[in-house]
Amino acid sequence: MSAVEPLISVRNLRIEFNTERGVVRAIDDVSFDILPGETLGVVGESGCGKSVTSLAILGLIPSPPGRIVSGSIRLQGRELVGLPEAEYRRVRGREISMIFQEPMTALNPVFTVGSQMVDVLVRHKQLTRKQARQVAIDMLAKVGIPSPEKRIDEYPHQLSGGMRQRVMIAMALSCGPKLLLADEPTTALDVTTQAQVMEEIVQLQEEFGTAVVLVTHDLGVVAETCQRAVVMYCGKVIEEADIETLFHHPKHPYTRGLMDSIPRIREQKKAELPTIPGTVPDLLHLPNGCRFVDRCFQAQERCCQAEPALERQADGSQVACFYPLEAGA
Amino acid sequence: MSEILLDVRNLKKHFPIKGGFFRRTVGWLKAVDGVSFQLRAGRTLGLVGESGCGKSTLGRAILRLHEPTAGQVILDGEDITALDHQALVAQRRNMQIIFQDPYASLSPRRTILQTLLEPLETHGIGDDASRRALIQELLDIVGLRPHVLHRYPHEFSGGQRQRIGIARALTLNPKFIVADEAVSALDVSVQSQVLNLIARLQREKHISFLFISHDLAVVQHISDDVGVMYLGQLVEMTSAENLYREPKHPYTQALLSAIPVPDPRKRAKRIVLEGDVPSPLNPPKGCHFHPRCPQAKDICRQAMPEQINLGSESDPHLIRCHLYT
């Protein structure tokens, strides 16, 4: 691909969960790279494995019931799969950190914002509590929290949703991680707040040179903030491309269907939205061959027999389809 | 031009805030504070606004699921707010609601058949055979197969459950349906299917919808008219076309500019609003929007603007803003 050494490289990752109904393969042979300083979008619908992928990078797959069956996740060449918990703890927070969809559940309600931020800094940066407090106040100011020296002594419930998410971002970036995993960071927020929060993330990313993985179902947010994106479907990466190519020349019929089925603000209204027929299949009962075959408008005999692998195209993108869509088709 | 089906006049819903030792009322939360608009038969009014702006409360107050504090709701010539309990129950045939989370709004202990039969039994419509025939027809309309009837809600996906919720709302052949965040919990590929279904019902069955959503793109797609709410008030309302082409209220302008555009070649020019939505418990004096408004003047800090119509009688453009008075 490019000469740049990837920050994270995920190779042939397979993750399974034991459930009452059987073993579910949530992630099936997933490979992708995250480059230093880039913003990578991971898109897909519920259950496609996008959140599990980010939890795996953080070493947070609950086990049991989940386990990494095979594959590797390397952080600048260092293998993370199988890393002892004590060592993983030094990676989390310092090198990779994460922000979640619902900041209220990620913040501890019985401690002040400040004490939670200070704990992280004392642990990873070996600062005194006094120094850490100053760093925390500076970070809060950076994410656009007004009067941070007052806010730092408040409890999470005293803050609005947008403020809480900003606190999470400040906390996540306080140790200067190389990678920030953002799992639906603005889904619970209103559009005007979403715009503010996304702006903060982009600004801080430029300032610190942090790579960001943005896991989201919102294609609008991806189009505006990411340079590259992977599209997942039922535990597999089915397409990977730079944003321009992905939005203007999607090659997988699923990606194309997703792009078409989002309502857009347009001058001329369309009577009917294009749709993808059917629903996402149950991971326990995947169709034979390509897992999108039941819903694909151009499925052929071959698609029912074999599963297409992710293959690189002439323009540098990758797609897992026997019959990738042509430009302008 | 079709006739006016729904006429909402100065509707208010204030919730008492209890506090202190004797749980006395210490204040009022003005969730809906003086909303007036009209909806014509067979049209869809989209209602947008951020969380806490009162859009859901308005939907429920119209149906008297929340008892309005003041104001009138006239549906098809009948004043809903003046009905006694019995008359209200009878009138509910004409007005139904679809909720955001169909899992929470369908009884987990009832089969789909039982769920769909209940409204017909309550209102004493038809006999057993005709009820079942109607239910079959409804399933067909919402795109579910007949064998689902004996299953329970947990056996369905989110999209299917929402179709069941829609079928239930249709059983009584209503004239008016409130869809409260009806597609917000669905994935995009399923969301588009449900949106198309709602659009078809509106066309073919001539049902009027009040479509409440925080997603402005969805609202623009489905609605004929769009109303924008902020802290319990309707700040702007006009046809979807007008609103998206030429938003007049500074809040509407900011809201529209904040929507991320799913096209990397078009980057929206954004009006980023300062701060958060103020608490509805203690709304700012004057125009509720003035602390965040980039165009606030002196008068905005002092007096609440009245709702005026910038358009015509047949093509109204309602607005509540001092910039236009």
Contacts of A238 in chain B (CB under 8 A): none
Which of B51, B160, B261 lies at the smallest CB-CB distance from A190?
Answer: B51
What DSSP character marks residue A156? Answer: G
Q: DSSP of A111-147, one letter per residue?
A: S-HHHHHHHHHHHHH---HHHHHHHHHHHHHHTT-SS
Cβ pair B188:A193 closer than 8 A: no
B261 and chain A: CB distance < 8 Å anywhere? yes
pLDDT higher than threshold 80 for residue B274:
no
d(CA B121, CA A8) in angstroms, rounded, equals 61
| Backbone angles phi and psi of A128, in degrees to 5 | -75, 165
**Would you mind telling me the total number of residues written for chain A in this entry?**
329
Q: Which of A93, A45, A36, A39 is nearest to A291 (CA)?
A: A45
B258 and chain A: CB distance < 8 Å anywhere? yes
Cβ pair B261:A264 closer than 8 A: yes
Give the pLDDT confidence of A112-155 residue by residue, as tens digits: 999 999 998 998 888 899 999 999 999 898 888 888 898 899 99
Contacts of A202 in chain B (CB under 8 A): none
Cβ pair A279:B159 closer than 8 A: yes
Q: What CA–CA distances, in Å, run from B99 to A130, A304, B42, B301?
A: 50, 38, 20, 37
Cβ pair A272:B260 closer than 8 A: no
Cβ pair B199:A272 closer than 8 A: yes
| CA-based nearest distance A160→chain B, Å | 8
d(CA B102, CA B164) in angstroms, rounded, equals 8
d(CA A146, CA A154) in angstroms, rounded, equals 13
Q: Which residue of B has its CA nearest to A245?
A: B264
Per-residue confidence (pLDDT) for residue B276, from 0 to 100: 76
Cβ pair A273:B195 closer than 8 A: yes
Give the pLDDT confidence of B35-53 residue by residue, as tens digits: 999 999 989 999 998 888 8
B269 and chain A: CB distance < 8 Å anywhere? no
Q: Which of B192, B241, B153, B176 is nearest to B6 (CA)?
A: B176
Helix (H) or strand (E) holding A151: helix A148-151
Cβ pair B267:A224 closer than 8 A: yes
Residue for token pair 């805030």: B17
B259 and chain A: CB distance < 8 Å anywhere? yes
Which of A157, A190, A197, A225 has the highest number of chain B CBs within 10 A, making it the mutation to test binding with B?
A190
Per-residue confidence (pLDDT) for residue B135, from 0 to 100: 93
Which of A199, A265, A273 lies at the smallest CB-CB distance from B272?
Answer: A199
Q: Which residue did the predictor score with more confidence, B184 or B251? A: B251
| Backbone angles phi and psi of A13, in degrees to 5 | -75, 135
| A127-131, B24-28, B135-139, B296-300: least confident range | B24-28
Q: Give SS3 for A236.
A: strand
Domain ranges of chain A: 8-233, 236-319
Per-residue confidence (pLDDT) for residue B95, from 0 to 100: 93
Give the pLDDT confidence of A255-265 residue by residue, as tens digits: 999 998 888 87
Cis before A65? omega within 30: yes
d(CA B202, CA B305) in angstroms, rounded, equals 34
Structure tokens belonging to residue A280: 């996402």
Contacts of B265 in chain A (CB under 8 A): 244, 247-248
Contacts of A198 in chain B (CB under 8 A): 260
Q: Give SS3 for A299.
A: coil
**B221-227: average pLDDT:** 93
Contact B144, B164 (CB under 8 A): yes
Cβ pair A265:B216 closer than 8 A: yes
Cβ pair B262:A195 closer than 8 A: no
CATH for A8-233 (3.40.640.10, 3.40.50.300, 3.90.950.10, 3.40.190.80) = 3.40.50.300
Contacts of A196 in chain B (CB under 8 A): 272-273
Q: Which of B118, B113, B120, B121 is nearest to B151 (CA)?
A: B113
**B92-112: average pLDDT:** 87
Q: What CA–CA distances, in Å, run from B135 to B126, B196, B292?
A: 12, 21, 50
pLDDT < 70: residue spans in chain A = 1-3, 267-270, 328-329
Which B positions 221-250 lie with beta carbon below 8 A of chain A? Answer: 221-222, 240-241, 244-245
Q: Give SS3 for B27.
A: strand
Per-residue confidence (pLDDT) for residue B155, from 0 to 100: 85
Structure tokens belonging to residue B39: 């909806």
Alpha helices in chain B (DSSP H): 55-62, 85-91, 102-105, 112-122, 128-142, 158-170, 188-205, 216-222, 240-245, 250-257, 298-302
Contacts of B50 in chain A (CB under 8 A): 190-193
